[in-house]
Amino acid sequence: MFWNKDRETMSRKEIENLQVELLKEKIEYAYNNVPFYKKKFDDFGIDKSSIKTIEDIRKLPFTTKNDFRDNYPFGLFATDMKQIVRIHSSSGTTGKPTVVGYTKNDLETWTNLIARIAKAAGVTDEDIVHIAFGYGLFTGGFGLHYGLEKIGAAIVPASSGNTKRQIMLIKDYGATVLVCTPSYALHIAEVAKESGIDIEKDLKLRIGMFGAEPWSDQMRKKIEAELNIKAYDNYGLSEIMGPGFSGECEEQNGMHIAEDNFIAEIINPETDKPVKEGEYGELVITTLTKEALPVFRYRTRDITKISTKPCSCGRTLAKMSKPIGRTDDMLIIRGVNVFPSQIEEVLFNIEGISPHYQIVVDRKGALDVATVMVEANANLFFDEMKKQKQFLDNINYELKSALGIDVSVKLVEPHSIERSMGKAKRIIDNRKF
């Protein structure tokens, strides 16, 4: 199902032409309205005439999270506050929060892009949508809310917290679509089961739109089985707008990027050079339609890959894969790059394993020691020591084959890993550098 069929099925040539035109306009717009960009573009000797082909975007300097912090709070805004109608910001767990603003048109654009990913996931005006994203400064709640409302679905803005109550609402209001983080979706399934709910009989859920944290295909299978739904991934970050940058179609194999509103590049995070199509690297985003806060070549720190191969759904928009990690989540253990998603993939292939895990890295002497804590359950517990050890040795072996380094699994008691309402805390790095 399409929301803007014309826009979603342009030829690749049309997409590129549109991107070049919009990029030129935005360079001029930012130059005239944001002192920060005026200085940067002057330093790099760039104006709109520098852009002739889409590759010319590489002449532009990068923008980073630090640029947002240095210009806190409104220094990167291109309009005066009179035109700004909404402010969102990141949680700011480290340092100052990242502040973003929206004009009326920006909100309209955002709403349409969310409507697009919701349609692509199969949501219709008949659906009842339970949104368990926090409503507030975080872009997830409000972002999804207006887009889903736009397509005519009935929204239950439950926000986050009190899982038992959420489940009661999902059941009583007959929600057919669930919107939250993937880890929270699993938590809902777990609590529902514990409270004696028969998910197939008592709930009407059919679609999940999950985002705001990375998750693997194994986790998707798990969520789909536990909640009896189709689970779709979507991606975005507040710096460039919020969710709606990309979302999966019914193929569930990559998220179509709204290329009529953004330019996506994949670069090698070490060399800053573009990688070949289909190779993993850091996603870099340029906004093409934002009024309040145009951003050029934003370093997302997310590691993914992009394909422009035609998709069976009919969309011509490029698809990005699920991010496999963040450049700054990447753990370097004994000199080897490790992404938590690689560990998750091994774990979720084990029959009966609990979805709650945590990776703890310590330094003993000069050596890094990584331990994966997994909650034990009856499926993973053998009454015989020999079998129990054998079972753990097998997981350790699988981890070693996948990662190339020794990582040991430790079973911990149920509920001893902290549950999160938002993003799951997967890594505890106790090393002091």
CB 109 within 8 A of CB 261: yes
Query: What token pair was written down for 207?
Result: 């679609």
Query: What token pair was written down for 40?
Result: 């940067």
In angstroms, give the least distance from the CB of 376 to another protein: 5
One symbol per residue from 325 to 364: x for binding another protein (CB under 8 A), - otherwise; what is it?
----------------------------------------
In angstroms, give the least distance from the CB of 379 to another protein: 9
Determine if 320 is a binding residue for Zn ion (CB under 5 A). Answer: no
In angstroms, give the least distance from the CB of 256 to Zn ion: 6
Using CB atoms within 10 Å of the CB of residue 373, give its burial: 0 to 12 exposed, 13 to 18 middle, 19+ buried.
middle
Q: Which of 168, 330, 376, 405 binds another protein (CB under 8 A)?
A: 376
Cα–Cα distance, 32 to 249 (Å, whole number): 38
Q: Which of 290, 315, 322, 356 binds Zn ion (CB under 5 A)?
A: 315
The bridge status of strand 177-180 relative to strand 128-131 is: parallel
Q: How distant, in Å, are the alpha carbons of 26, 48, 56, 100, 298 from that of 60?
A: 12, 11, 8, 21, 11
Cα–Cα distance, 296 to 290 (Å, whole number): 11
Given the rule CB under 5 A, which of 140-148, 151-159, 206-214, 313-321 is the region that contacts Zn ion?
313-321
Q: What is the DSSP letter of 211?
A: -
Using CB atoms within 10 Å of the CB of residue 145, give its burial: 0 to 12 exposed, 13 to 18 middle, 19+ buried.
buried
Query: Quick one: 50 or 388, whose CB is closer to another protein?
Result: 388
Determine if 385 is a binding residue for another protein (CB under 8 A). Answer: yes
CB 87 within 8 A of CB 99: yes
In angstroms, give the least distance from the CB of 34 to another protein: 55
Q: Which of 6, 351, 384, 418 binds another protein (CB under 8 A)?
A: 384
Which residues within the stretch 236-275 sit at the binding site for Zn ion (CB under 5 A)? 249, 251
In angstroms, give the least distance from the CB of 291 to another protein: 53
Indicate which of Zn ion, another protein, none lies near residue 12 (CB less than 5 to 8 Å, by partner kind). none
Given the rule CB under 8 A, which of 105-113, 168-176, 250-258, 372-380 is the region that contacts another protein?
372-380
CB 289 within 8 A of CB 261: yes
Kindly write down the DSSP assignment for every residue of 251-271, as one continuous string. Answer: T-SSEEE-TTTEEEEEE-TTT
Q: How distant, in Å, are the alpha carbons of 18, 259, 296, 315, 319 from that of 13?
A: 9, 12, 22, 14, 16
In angstroms, give the least distance from the CB of 249 to Zn ion: 3
In angstroms, give the least distance from the CB of 343 to another protein: 18
Q: Which of 27, 100, 263, 313 binds Zn ion (CB under 5 A)?
A: 313
Cα–Cα distance, 219 to 183 (Å, whole number): 9
Indicate which of another protein, Zn ion, none lies near residue 389 (CB less than 5 to 8 Å, by partner kind). another protein
In angstroms, give the least distance from the CB of 165 to another protein: 22
CB 111 within 8 A of CB 150: yes
One symbol per residue from 387 to 416: x for binding another protein (CB under 8 A), - otherwise; what is it?
-xx--------------------xxxxxxx
Indicate which of another protein, Zn ion, none lies near residue 313 (CB less than 5 to 8 Å, by partner kind). Zn ion
In angstroms, give the least distance from the CB of 166 to another protein: 22
Determine if 367 is a binding residue for another protein (CB under 8 A). Answer: no
Cα–Cα distance, 347 to 403 (Å, whole number): 12
Query: Quick one: 120 or 241, whose CB is closer to Zn ion?
Result: 120
Q: How distant, in Å, are the alpha carbons of 63, 126, 164 from that of 168?
A: 44, 21, 6
Residues forming contacts to another protein in the complex (CB under 8 A) are 376-378, 381-386, 388-389, 410-416
Residues forming contacts to Zn ion in the complex (CB under 5 A) are 249, 251, 311, 313, 315
